[in-house]
Amino acid sequence: MPILSGKARLAGVFGWPATHSRSPRLHGFWLERHGIDGAYVPLSVAPAQFETAVRGLAAAGFRGANVTIPHKEAAYALCDEVDHAARRAGAVNTLRFEAGRILGGNTDGFGFLESLAEQAPGFDPAAGPAVLLGAGGACRAIAAALLDEGCPRVTLVNRTTERAEALARDLDATDARPGRLRIATEAPLDGAALLVNTTSLGMEGQPPLAIDLAPLPDGAVVADAVYVPLETPLLAAARARGLRGVDGLGMLLHQARPGFEAWFGVAPAVDAALREFVAADLPRTAAGPPDVPTSALAGPGAAARR
C-alpha cells in the first residue's frame, strides 16, 4: 500500500455522483506503476457546491481534477483560461490549478482520436464523411476533433433536431472551415467512412442501438463511446459485418493522459496491461431492453461518464 508524504501530489474527479467513475482505478494504476508520491480520489459534489469545492481544492494544494457529469459546463464558466479544445467543446473535463488560477481543457476529442489511431490503425479522419449519433457533450467534442483533423463532412443524427442544430451552429462559429456540418433524421451511411455512437444507447441497462450497417462501405470504421459493456451490440454487429470497431474504453484511457502528465509530472502510456486492468472492472457484454430505432436517439453522451 503506497504511503503518502507531506509533499504528495493530489488530484481527483468531480462528479455527482463520482462513485461509478473508473478514473480512480485508471490513475491509481499509473501512480503505482511510476512509484509516484500522490493520490487521485473520487469527489462526489452536488452542483450547488461545485464552485466552492473547486476553489477549496485549489486553495488546499490540489494540482487539479477531472470533471464529469453534470459539472463540465460549470467548470468551463469557472476557469480563468481555457484551451482551444475546451472552447470548441463548450465544456471542460480537465482542470489545472496553477499560481492561484484555474485552467481548463477538454481532452475528450484527443482521447477519441488517439483511440481511433490505436484500434483502427491507418484510418485518416480526412478520408471521408463521418456520421455521429447524438448531440451531447461527447458528440460535440468528437465532432470538433474530427473537423480539426480535416474531416470533409460531419452529419449529426439526433432525436431532437433543434439540439443538433444548436451544436452545429456553435461548432461552425469556431471552425476554420465552416459549413462542413449537416443535420439528418436518419443516418446517411452510404459512403460514410466513420460511424460514431455518442449516445447512451447500448450502455448496460439501456436499449441497444438498432441500426442497419449494411449501407456502410467495406472499409468503414464503427466507433462506440460506450464502454459499459466493453463490447456493445453495435460493435458486435460491426465486427460481424467485417468492419473495424473502436470501443469506448480506449477513449477513456487516452483522454486521461494529458491530465495525469500535468498533475503528476509523468507522461503515462496506454498499453495492454493498463487496458486489461481497467477492463477487469467492466462487463464484457450486456443484454438490454428491446431495440429502439435511430429516430429515437437521445440522452447524454456516453463518454460524459468517467
- The verdict on whether 7 is a catalytic residue reads no
3-class state of residue 209 by DSSP? strand
Nearest-angstrom CA–CA distance, 197 and 298: 11
Listed residue (291, 272, 125) closest to 202, CA to CA: 291
Residue 93: CB partners within 8 Å, gap ≥ 6? 66, 67, 68, 72, 75, 105, 106, 107, 108, 255, 306
Residue 215 cell numbers, joined? 449501407
Residues 157, 186 contacting (CB under 8 angstroms): yes
**Which is catalytic among the residues 9, 27, 71, 72?**
72
Nearest-angstrom CA–CA distance, 247 and 40: 25
Nearest-angstrom CA–CA distance, 39 and 18: 16
Listed residue (163, 29, 179, 31) closest to 90, CA to CA: 163
Side-chain half-sphere CA neighbours of 23 within 13 A: 33
Helix-strand-coil percent breakdown of the chain, rounded to 5?
Answer: 40, 20, 45
Beta bridge partners of 97: 102
Residues that are catalytic? 72
